[in-house]
Amino acid sequence: MIELMVICVIWNAVAMETNKQKKNLSDLEAKNEQLTLEKRDLQNQTEDLRMKMTKLTAEKLFYKNQTMEMTVNMTILQNQNEQLRNNSDKLNRTQAAIISYTNFPADLFCPDGVCQTCPKDWIQFQESCYFFYNLGSPWKTWNQSRQFCQSMKSDLVVISSLEEQTFIYNTIQYYLDIWHGYWIGLQKVNNNWTWVDGSPDTLGYWKNPGSSEDFAYIIQNAPLNQSWIQFRNSFQNRFICEIKALMF
């Protein structure tokens, strides 16, 4: 009888412990399931954040590219505006320069519709263009030389400063002999040396002052300030034409 009671007590104790363990297991399973759900929720949230981050990165790159494109377009527009402004300024200067001529020789300065500072084969110095006639013989008399220059809407050169004299002296060529040179626009009028524009000569770079001849040319084989020769019109020389440069 006592043994039976002991067995019953042990059985009850085992049953209670088993039930307790079952309850603990059930609680653990519930917690595990809850943790699994929470883990899945966190994974979903993490994926959602990752997708949002990817989207934000793509949008950031898009707006960055848009900003760069707008910057490039703005630079292009600024350059175009600057070019238009420069073209407008150049056009205004060209117009003002053309208006300054009494009779603008468009065929000389703008043969292809594009104007240049000097005509082709002319040399610019300061605000004038110069044509040095360097062809072979036969050359021309003073009158013929002036007519040739006038046919090109210009005239024989007027030398008005030491700087201009130096430029011309350094540009002309020695040819044939020591007596030949280049006709300049200086002639004797009423016994006074006068340039073709009507101004009196004030430089007097003569090699042979006091000569009775009436026309002047310049030579290179003499000192710069003694390089003008007085001679007769019929002598044939090369020559120099001058026209105002188209300054724009």
Please state the domain extents for the chain.
Answer: 1-99, 113-244
113-244: CATH topology: Mannose-Binding Protein A; Chain A (3.10.100)
pLDDT band at 96 (very low <50, low <70, confident <90, very high): low
Total-model pTM: 0.65
**Residue whose pair of structure tokens reads 């760069």 in the numeric block:** 68
Determine contact, residues 94/115, Cβ cutoff 8 Å: yes
Stated as kind and residue range, the H or E segment containing 125 is: strand 123-125
pLDDT at residue 67, as a whole number: 83
Q: What is the structure's pLDDT at 30?
A: 80
pLDDT at position 97 over 70: no
Cβ-proximal residues to 107 (8 Å cutoff; 6+ apart), any chain: none
Tokens of 130: 């110069």
What pLDDT digit, counting tens, does each position of 141-189 carry? 999 999 999 999 999 999 999 999 999 999 999 999 999 999 999 999 9
Task: Note the pLDDT of residue 95.
Answer: 65
The strand pair at 182-189 and 228-231 is best described as unpaired
pLDDT-derived band of residue 230, with 50, 70 and 90 as boundaries?
A: very high
Q: What is the pLDDT of residues 70-84, one digit of tens each?
A: 888 888 888 888 887
Cα 152–Cα 153–Cα 157 angle in degrees, nearest 5:
85
Instruction: Report how many helices (DSSP H) and strands (DSSP E) the chain contains, helices first.
Output: 4, 8
